[in-house]
Amino acid sequence: MDKSTAIQRIEALRNEINHHNQRYYQFDDPQISDAQYDRLMNELAALEQRFPELLTSESPTQRVGAAPLEKFNTVAHLTPMLSLANAFSGDDIFDFGNRIERLLGKGKQISFVVEPKLDGVAVNLIYEKGNLTLGSTRGDGMVGEDITLNLRTIHSIPLTIKACNNLTIPDTLEIRGEVYIDIEAFKHLNKRRTNEGHPPFANPRNAAAGSLRQLDSKVTAKRPLNIFCYGIGFISGNPFRTHWEALQQLSRWGFRINPLIRQASDINDCVRCYHEMMEHRKNLPYEIDGMVIKVDSLEIQNRLGAVSRSPRWAIACKFPATQETTVIEDIIVQVGRTGVLTPVAVMKPVRVGGVIVSRATLHNQDEIDKKDIRIGDTVIVQRAGDVIPEVVKVVASQRDGSEKAFHMPDTCPECGSEVIRLKGEAAHRCLGLSCPAQLKEHIKHFASKGGMDIEGLGDKLVSQLVDNGVIKDPADIFPLTREKLLPLERLAEKSVSNILSSIQHSKNPPLRKLIFALGIRHVGERTAKILAETFGSLEALSQAKEDELMAIRDIGPEVSGSIFQFFCNEDNRKVLKKLAAAGVRAIEDKKSSPSPISGKSFVFTGRLQTLNRQEGKSLVESLGGYVHESVSKNTDYVVAGDDPGAKFDKATSLGIQIIDEAAFLKLVGKK
């Protein structure tokens, strides 16, 4: 295909894909199958790869995320993002109507628009000449953070405004909307996170906020974010008379507008809608925490103006939280895959907002103490943000003295190992290497590439070995035999001998790998290397006192506390003995030969020319130095590229040596 044909085909494909995106993401009403859609996308991507000069940032292929940022820049909104005053009842809504009538003079017929109040994160989108050029958070209302790269990954946000007959595309258009996550998608996301050992998000709003605050937009791209747009901040040569008219036009331009938005002829109508929407709420696939009423006429909005950052022409009518009273019958403790002990209230089942609730996480001992929750207490429960049940407070007047205080157990309910609360953490943990709740994770980590590097011990096999009781701790890997492995599902003779040989070969790892493999909390590969170089043997490390550990550069109180506690644990000591008995013996780590930067700490700031950050980091580490993200008094060198950031100023104020890229390359012997 020649270039001019490619230009035409690319243009046609982009239009067609944008049309289908609109059908799918804006109107939830696709006209083609996923497979047909994928074919169009693949064709476009292939053409853009063949003719890279034709690729533009507005292409529908460009929603996958970009290189990670170091920090978000701050940006000013074109017009302030105001917040809303609240109403909590029909009476408050009538007061709002009366206030407006007083301000405008009696007898004027005022109509309104009512909208669901989405419980998500407010964002601001700026389009110049029809292209999305900036997307930001609300921030303090005047200035927010530039999260353009993250917002570009949300498919329901148009990258370009769709031309339509009704109106020319404005030079500048500032759109206001709420980014949110559907309840079902939120549950899936949390399930995925828990499976991967990450803490779940408390509610969809936190999940949306956390996803938008990712410095790596590729992570955001994987989150099920969506948007409803509800207003205009600024538009060149405002062509609209009413808010309703503006919303209709936004929809034609390709913005997603909530289908429950209605016109209300007067304040009585608004109150009726408020009760209706409250009823409707539990059937919605996303969370709303109220209804917003807005005066429809833009001219009247203007006349009414704002007081103390809230417009007089709009109000947020909050819904009462769905709460019920019940009794805590017991508090049980669950052990998670990372060893965290979570207290869970077992309650007399009660219906809250249409759902039967009988369990609620109490998070940790501090939360229980703060709310003074005891077994036998009558409590108020609510579904936070309407999804996750939570205990709001105790009804103390219902106590009869028989209630029992709860204390975290001293030993793990799963394995009987001692329970520890590490420095700086709210959670109590079981540190036991053989704890069944954590065993699969421990074994996978133990066998991983950075650890003992045992090939063939994948997720499925580990699951089978643990479930069948063949492996009860990491040391049980070494006596594995052909007879124990062969009966397991899907294991052929050949794979069995490969695994067994890989196990034999892993018995003498470098010390740092063995230390890392133990999965001590806070001990990653870098810390494991420092520990290996400092102590020279596992035996010496296991006997180190906390203050000895703390004296090591780069090891703080949290890390040293965690290492010390790990080796105090009786079960862990047993497992270490078993490992030694099975012939697992580390060889001493090769110390990196002395180099001018060995043991020195580096921080990079600004853009480098010859190297990228990762190359700089690898270079420093290969020569025995360390790279840190932030400048501290322990930093030896700050390497400053173009446009250095705040780290440069901090280094100057701390008197730390700042070198440019050329000096850095010379220092590491590359020039």
Q: How far is the CB of 116 from ligand IVH (least distance, A)?
A: 6
DSSP state of 415: T
Contact 119, 180 (CB under 8 A): yes
Contact status: 296 vs ligand IVH (CB under 6 A): no
- Minimum CB–partner distance for residue 122 and ligand IVH (Å): 3
Q: How far apart are CA 293 and CA 155, in angstroms?
A: 28
Task: CB nearer to ligand IVH: give 274 or 446.
Answer: 274
Residues 297-316 as x/- pattern, contact with ligand IVH by CB under 6 A: --------------x--x-x
Among residue numbers 96 through 115, which ones bind ligand IVH (CB under 6 A)? 115
Phi, psi values for residue 360, rounded to 5°: -150, 135
Shortest separation between residue 387's beta carbon and ligand IVH, angstroms: 17
Please identify, using beta-carbon distances, which residue of 262 and 650 lies nearer to ligand IVH: 262
Least distance (Å) between residue 242 CB and ligand IVH: 15
Residues between 395 and 454 with contacts to ligand IVH, criterion CB under 6 A: none
State the minimum distance, in angstroms, from the CB of residue 137 to ligand IVH. 10
* 490: its two tokens: 């899907």
Q: Which is nearer to ligand IVH, 83 or 111 (CB)?
A: 83
Residues 117, 243, 374, 428: which binds ligand IVH (CB under 6 A)? 117
SS3 label, residue 119: coil
Q: What are phi and psi of 357, to 5 degrees?
A: -115, 130
Q: Which member of 62, 74, 83, 248 binds ligand IVH (CB under 6 A)?
A: 83
At 405, the amino acid letter reads A
* Amino acid at site 233: G
DSSP code of 587?
B
Residues 632-671 interacting with ligand IVH (rule: CB under 6 A): none
The β-bridge relationship of strands 601-605 and 626-628 is parallel
Note whether 82 binds ligand IVH by CB under 6 A: yes
Contact 244, 112 (CB under 8 A): no
84 binds ligand IVH (CB under 6 A): yes
Q: Shortest gap between Cβ of 238 and ligand IVH (angstroms)?
A: 16
Cα angle 540, 543, 547; round to 5: 105
For residue 96, the minimal CB distance to ligand IVH (Å) is 14
Alpha helices in 518-556 (DSSP H): 525-535, 538-542, 546-550
Which of the stretches 79-87, 151-159, 213-221, 623-631 binds ligand IVH when contact is defined by CB under 6 A?
79-87
- Residue among 117 and 512 whose Cβ is closer to ligand IVH: 117
Site for ligand IVH contains 473 (CB under 6 A): no
Q: Which residue minimizes CB distance to ligand IVH?
A: 122
In the sheet that holds 626-628, the strands lie side by side as 626-628, 601-605, 637-640, 657-659
Q: Cα 629 to the chain's mean position, in Å? A: 20
**Smaller CB distance to ligand IVH: residue 178 or 473?**
178
**What is the spatial distance between Cα 309 and Cα 591, in angstroms, rounded to a whole number?**
61
**245 Cβ contact partners less than 8 Å away, ≥ 6 residues apart:** none
User: Judged by CB under 6 A, does residue 231 bind ligand IVH?
Assistant: yes
In the residue annotation, 117 being an active-site residue is answered as: yes
Q: Which two tokens mark 585?
A: 């013996």
Contact predicate 293/68, CB 8 Å: no
Tell me how crowded residue 588 is: count the other CB atoms within 10 A of its CB.
12
If the CB atoms of residues 44 and 270 are measured against ligand IVH, the closer one turns out to be: 270
Residue 269 Cβ vs ligand IVH, minimum distance, rounded to whole Å = 17
Cα 31 from Cα 28, distance rounded (Å): 10
**Dist CA 274 CA 116 (whole Å):** 9
- Helices 3-21 and 34-50, packing angle to 10 deg: 150
- 77 or 513, CB closer to ligand IVH? 77
Closer residue to ligand IVH in complex, CB, 316/457: 316
Do 60 and 17 meet the contact criterion of CB atoms below 8 Å apart? yes
Rounded to a whole number of angstroms, the minimum distance from the CB of residue 65 to ligand IVH is 24
Residue whose CB is less far from ligand IVH, 83 or 206: 83
CA atoms 648, 649, 650, 651: torsion sign: positive
What is the identity of the amino acid at 152? R
Nearer residue to ligand IVH within complex by CB, 289 or 425: 289
Alpha helices in 105-163 (DSSP H): 148-152
Which residue type, as a one-letter code, is found at position 312? R
Strands 637-640 and 657-659: parallel
Choice among 106, 117, 129, 404 that is catalytic: 117
Neighbours of 353 (CB within 10 A): 16
Looking at the Cβ atoms of 83 and 502, the one nearer to ligand IVH is: 83
Binding-site size for ligand IVH (CB under 6 A) equals: 14
Smallest gap, in angstroms, from Cβ of residue 255 to ligand IVH? 13
CB of 291 to ligand IVH, least distance (A): 8
Q: Measured from the CB of residue 221, what is the shortest distance to ligand IVH in angstroms?
A: 23
Indicate the SS3 state at residue 220.
helix
Evaluate whether 555 touches 626 at the Cβ level (below 8 Å). Answer: no
- Alpha-helical runs (H) found in 114-238: 148-152, 183-195, 204-212, 217-221
Q: Which residue of 174, 178, 377, 414 would you call a contact of ligand IVH, by CB under 6 A?
A: 178
Burial of 660 (0-12, 13-18, 19+ CB in 10 A): middle
Helices 183-195 and 204-212: angle between axes, nearest 10 degrees: 70
Helix/strand/coil (H/E/C) assignment for every residue in 191-216: HHHHHCCCCCCCCHHHHHHHHHCCCC
Determine which residue in the list 207, 292, 381, 623 makes contact with ligand IVH, applying CB under 6 A: 292
- Where does 536-660 have alpha helices with state H? 538-542, 546-550, 557-568, 570-581, 613-622, 646-654
Q: Which is nearer to ligand IVH, 84 or 656 (CB)?
A: 84
Binding string, residues 364-403; x marks residues near ligand IVH by CB under 6 A: ----------------------------------------
Interface with ligand IVH (CB under 6 A): 82-84, 115, 117-118, 122, 178, 230-231, 292, 311, 314, 316
Positions marked active-site = 117
